[in-house]
Amino acid sequence: MDPCVAYEWQELEYPVGEDIEQINSAFDEYKSVSKSRSIGDIGRRNIEKINDKIKNSGNNVGIIEFGNGIRIEFRPKLDSPSKREFKDFWGFLPRMLHSLCRTNEFTNRIFIDPFQKIELPEGCNMVPLFALSFVSLCSDVVRKGMLKKYVRRQQALKTIKGKIDFGTLIRTKPWDDSVVPCIYHDLTFNNKENQIVLWCLNKLIKEASKIELGQDGNEPRILCLMRELFAMISQEVILTPQKRSDILAIQKSSLPAHYVELMKLCEVILSDQFFSFDPNQKCLNGLNFIIDMDWVFEQYMTYLFDVVAAESGLKIEPQYRHSLCDKNKIKIRPDVVIFDPGHAKPLAVIDFKWKDAPNTDNANYYQIICYGLAEIQKFDLINIDASIFYASGQEVMNYDAISKIFDGNKNVTINKICLEREIFDKSINIDIEAAIKGKIRNYFTLLAGKVICN
C-alpha cells in the first residue's frame, strides 16, 4: 500500500482505491494499543477524525505504521506540493533534533512507539531522536532520584559484615584472619537497572559522535548533555556490558514510575536491529515517531542564535520569563531576548514561527508588539527591535514602528525576518545550517549598527 500523507493542519490524503474505513479503524485500534507501550501520548498530538477523515490538527511531523501494511507520513507544511521548499526534509530533521536546547517539555511534544519497527526515508536516522529522548528521560530520573537497591555482595572484608561465607573461608586460607569472606546486602546505586542506563548512554554517545559536526566544529548540544550525564552517573555506577536479555529479566512492575519509559527506550537501544546506522545504506531501520515541528524549529533556531551570539559578543536569553504588570500576575516569555552585554539591557525580542510568512498576520504581531512594549517599560529603553522570524517568506525589515504613542521619544521597530526558500534547497545539511547562521549574522550586524541610546 502507498503511504497515506498528512501535512501539518491538513486532512489525510488517502491512497487512491484504498478502503478509507479500514484505514480509520486500524488507526483507532493502534491509538488504544500503543498507550501502554509508548513514550509520550499520541492522544496529545491532536490527530483526530473529522467528518470520518483523519486530520493532522497540529504541527505534527513523523511516520507511523500499523496493521495491514498501513503507513502514515506526517510531513511538514513547508514540504507540501504547493511549496516544495525542503529538498531533503527527512535528512535535515535529525540535524535539527541533534541541536535542541531544552528537554523539559519533551514528553508533551513527542510520541515514540519503541516496539513498532519501520523503514525510514532515505537520509533519515533515529540516533538524534534517541539521544533527545534519552537525555530528557534520564535527566528526569536524575532529578527525581536514581534507584537505590539492596544488592547481594560476596567479598573479603577486614571486619565482619552480614554473615561469614564459611564455604569460601575453608577453601581459601582459613588460617589468615586478616580478612574474612562475607555475604551481605549493600544499598547501592550500582544495580542492574542503573548499569543498563549507563551502558545505553555509552552506546548512544558512540553513535551520536559519528554524526557530522557543523562548520564551527563544535559538538551538538545533545551530545554534550549526554557526556555530562555519563560523567555524573559513572561516579556511582560501574560501566558493564548489557544485553537485551538483561533488561527483559527485570520485573517492570517493581520499577519507580519515572524509570518506566526510560527502560522502554533502553530495551530498544539494546536491540541492535534498530541500530542499522551505516551511512552507506539508503534505507535505515527506525521506530514509529511523531514530533511537534513548531517546538523543534523554535528550539533549533534558539540554538543557532546562541552560537552566532557568542561570535558577536552578544548575550542570548531563551524563554526569558518575567513580569509584564505591576502586580506580577501576568508573565511574558519571548522565544529569545538579545542583550547587549555592556549595557545588560535588551536590544531585541524574537519570536519564531514555523510557517510561511502570510501577507497579514495581526495576531502574531500583537504578540511581538506586546513583548517589545513590555521590554521598553521594564528597562526604560529608548529603542528596541521586535522581530518575527518565519521559516519561509518575503523578508521586510522595518516592517512597521511604534513611536507616536511615545511622542517620538521612544521607538519599537517591528521586523519581519524570513528564511529564503533557496536555503532549504541545498543538498548538504551543513550548507543549510551555514546559510541560516549567515541570515542571523546579518541581523546581528544591523543591531550592532544601530545607535544604542538606552
pLDDT digit of tens for each residue in the chain (454 aa)?
688 999 999 999 888 888 888 888 889 899 888 888 888 888 889 998 888 889 999 999 999 998 778 999 999 988 877 666 677 888 888 888 877 767 777 778 889 998 888 888 877 888 888 888 899 899 999 999 999 888 888 888 878 887 888 888 888 877 777 888 888 888 889 999 999 999 999 999 988 887 665 555 667 788 888 999 999 999 999 999 999 999 999 988 889 988 998 998 898 888 866 555 555 565 678 889 999 999 999 989 998 998 899 888 888 888 766 666 667 677 777 889 998 877 678 899 999 999 888 877 788 888 898 888 888 887 888 889 999 999 988 899 989 999 888 877 888 999 999 998 888 877 777 788 889 999 999 999 888 776 444 4
What is the rounded CA–CA span in Å between residue 359 and residue 38? Answer: 40
Using alpha carbons, list the distances in angstroms from residue 215 to 429, 432, 435: 11, 11, 11
Cβ-based neighbours of 405, under 8 Å, separated by 6 or more: none
The topology under which CATH files domain 313-449 is: Trna Endonuclease; Chain: A, domain 1 (3.40.1350)
| Spatial separation of the C-alpha atoms in residues 204 and 220, rounded to whole Å | 13
Residue-range domain boundaries for the chain: 4-145+192-294, 149-188, 313-449
CA-based R_g, the chain, Å: 27
Dmax of the chain from CA atoms? Answer: 97
Contact yes or no for 147/194 (Cβ under 8 A): yes
| Contacts by residues 138-144 (CB-CB < 8 Å, ≥ 24 positions apart) | 138/197, 138/201, 138/229, 138/262, 139/103, 139/104, 139/225, 139/229, 140/258, 140/262, 141/197, 141/258, 141/259, 141/262, 142/229, 142/232, 142/233, 144/256, 144/258
**pTM value?**
0.84
